[in-house]
Amino acid sequence: MEVDTTPSTTFSAAYDFNDADVSIVYRQNQSEVLASLSGPTEVPASKRLNGLVAVTIHYYLENGDPINCEDVTPFITNMIDRLKFPRAGIAINLYQMRAQGSRLSTAINAATLALLDSAAPLNMLAAAVDVVIDASGELYVNPSKANESQAVAGAVVIFGASPKGVEPVGFKSWGTIGPEFYEAAVNASESTAKETLAFFRKSMQQRLESTNTK
């Protein structure tokens, strides 16, 4: 398998918040997601979970229609330390503003930044990377919409920060793949995961500095 050698993924984020909520616009290459977060906060008794914080995630397309968020919910939920603030709730809304490829990783990374900005308790800091493979066997990391249209299979790979750098902690694939695809996808996307985590840290540092100077 060959790996496409186009330039690294580009990132940007813009923040807005009030005392209770966090709202960010996260851009990854040409895709853009608005993520808003509320909580931890009190929830109705019918929605409380004994010993755990309840996490609710909604995901919407550009036209406002809701879509199935099962592809992103487990990865986002696993990042949160749900033993903190038991019987409370965290609500995350993801609004797809522009989808030009790598939809899942953009949504997951937007949620991660919202969690970081909210200071929600986390089990780990994670970064998502999309990978697709075309019929010729070439891999594309955080692919464009054009790359995805030519893909025969793909996956979103979740990396967690570790003392050694990053390590894969989640993987969800689609299409027909062989056993060699997992290793190739992880190896190809590792450096992008490190870039993503570095962007998270830089963004939070800049956020802290700008808040302290106001």
Domains of the chain (ranges; CATH) run 2-212 (3.30.230.70)
What pLDDT is stored for residue 18 in this prediction? 47
Q: What is the 3-state secondary structure (H, E, C) of the chain?
A: CEECCCCCCCEEEEEEECCCEEEEEEEECCEEEEEEEEEEEECCHHHCECCECEEEEEEECCCCCECCCCCCHHHHHHHECCCCCCCEEEEEEEEEEECCCCHHHHHHHHHHHHHHHHCCCECCCEEEEEEEEECCCEEEECCCHHHHHCEEEEEEEEEEEECCEEEEEEEEEEECCCHHHHHHHHHHHHHHHHHHHHHHHHHHHHHHHHHHCC
pLDDT (tens digit per residue) in 64-79: 888 888 889 999 999 9
- Phi, psi torsion values for 26, nearest 5 degrees: -110, 130
Choose among 169, 83, 57: nearest CA to 124: 169
State how far the Cα of 3 lies from the Cα of 147, in Å rounded to an integer: 12
Confidence of residue 19 (pLDDT cuts 50, 70, 90): very low
More confident call, 42 vs 156:
156
What's the mean per-residue pLDDT of the chain? Answer: 86
Confidence of residue 143 (pLDDT cuts 50, 70, 90): very high
When pLDDT is averaged across residues 198-212 and rounded to a whole number, the result is 81
pLDDT (tens digit per residue) in 30-44: 899 999 998 777 777
Confidence of residue 7 (pLDDT cuts 50, 70, 90): very low
pLDDT (tens digit per residue) in 88-112: 888 899 999 998 989 999 999 999 9
Contact 126, 132 (CB under 8 A): no
**Could you tell me what percent of the chain has a pLDDT over 90?**
51
Has residue 27 got a pLDDT over 80?
Answer: yes
Has residue 214 got a pLDDT over 60?
Answer: no
State how far the Cα of 141 lies from the Cα of 129, in Å rounded to an integer: 7
- pTM of the predicted model as reported, rounded to 2 decimal places: 0.87
